Amino acid sequence: MSSQSGAGDADPELAPRPRRFRAVPIRVLIPNLITLLALCLGLTAIRFAFEGQIEWAVIAIAAAAVLDGLDGRIARALKGTSRFGAELDSLADFIDFGVAPAIVLYVSGLHNMRSLGWFAALVFAIACALRLARFNVMIDEPDQPPWRDQFFVGMPAPAGAIVGLLPVYLQNSLAVPTQGSAFTLLEIVYVLGVALLMASRIPHFSGKLIGRVPREYVAVVLIGLAAAVLLLANFPLQTLVALTLAYLATIPFSVQRFRQLKLGQSGPPHAAT
């Protein structure tokens, strides 16, 4: 009896307290840290834009796009994907590829048209937000055919940021006459066109499936990557102009390929009886 009463009279302060939160593995934290680093780059791009350092602002956004392409792959490789990481990635993408490019565009040239230029910047940011919201909704859609993974619906937000900044590249790198209202009007039309591509349902090739390189092409790929890095380091804006034009040239091919796969899924039409 005494032993039972002694056990019952144990000091409750000495009893182990239940843990309120589960421990989070490091492999889950690493992709989120990369996402936060990309967010810091996007915010830093806004600071550079206000300070008039447009080239550095562009480089910061391009670096954020590279990190955005890495965090998802690293999360899948480490098996560290999570709903929290997906939501954090979307919020960071809106700042990095919606807000920051819009401000850079306005500060660098759109401000010449005042309210009309600010309108174009707002539309660009809103289109990026709509693009990201639709992407999050489509993740939960069931029964998607496997070939759909080869395409994005609408221009991806990172690509939209890089492509949308083309007028900034031209203003700060090439011998292009960019002064006057005529160029600013063309810039507004171009920015609105890129915003339309982001908000539209036009298919774009996805790079998510690029993960393995055939052994016979390893040397060629390594040389190409080294050349791209050297060009970006020495001629960043000129290289971004070339990459932008090359990406825009792939859009008709992505639309054609999407239609071919969609027709193949539906099968040939039935013969009339």
CATH classification at residue 106:
1.20.120.1760
Q: How confident is the model at residue 267 (pLDDT cuts 50, 70, 90)?
A: low
Q: What is the mean pLDDT of the chain?
A: 84
pLDDT tens digits along 73-118: 888 888 778 888 888 999 999 999 999 999 999 999 899 888 999 9
Residue 229 has pLDDT above 50, yes or no: yes
Residue 4 lies in a domain: no
Residues 75-114: b if buried by 16+ CB within 10 A, e if exposed? beeeebeeeebeebbbebbbbbbbbbbbbbbbbbbbebbe
Q: Average pLDDT in the 154-166 region?
A: 95
Residue 10 lies in a domain: no
Residue 7 lies in a domain: no
Residue 234 lies in a domain: yes
Residue range of the domain that includes 87: 25-263
As beta bridge partners, residue 153 has: 203
Q: How confident is the model at residue 271 (pLDDT cuts 50, 70, 90)?
A: very low
Q: Is-contact 104 162, C-beta < 8 A?
A: no
Instruction: Specify the number of domains making up the chain.
Output: 1
Q: How confident is the model at residue 206 (pLDDT cuts 50, 70, 90)?
A: confident
Closest CA to 198 of 244, 136, 131, 249: 131
Residue 175 has pLDDT above 90, yes or no: no
Q: How confident is the model at residue 178 (pLDDT cuts 50, 70, 90)?
A: low
Q: Average pLDDT in the 129-136 region?
A: 90
pLDDT tens digits along 3-43: 455 545 555 555 556 556 566 678 778 889 999 999 999 99
Residue 239 has pLDDT above 70, yes or no: yes
Residue 12 lies in a domain: no
Q: Which tokens go with 207?
A: 């790079």
Tell which wins on pLDDT, 208 or 111: 111
Residue 14 lies in a domain: no
**Confidence at residue 150, expressed as pLDDT on a 0 to 100 scale:** 82
Residue 220 lies in a domain: yes
Closest CA to 189 of 129, 132, 119: 119
Does the pTM surpass 0.95? The reply is no
From the CB of residue 17, how many other CB atoms can be counted at a distance below 10 Å?
A: 7
The Cα 55–Cα 273 span in angstroms is: 66
Residue 271 lies in a domain: no
Residue 166 has pLDDT above 70, yes or no: yes
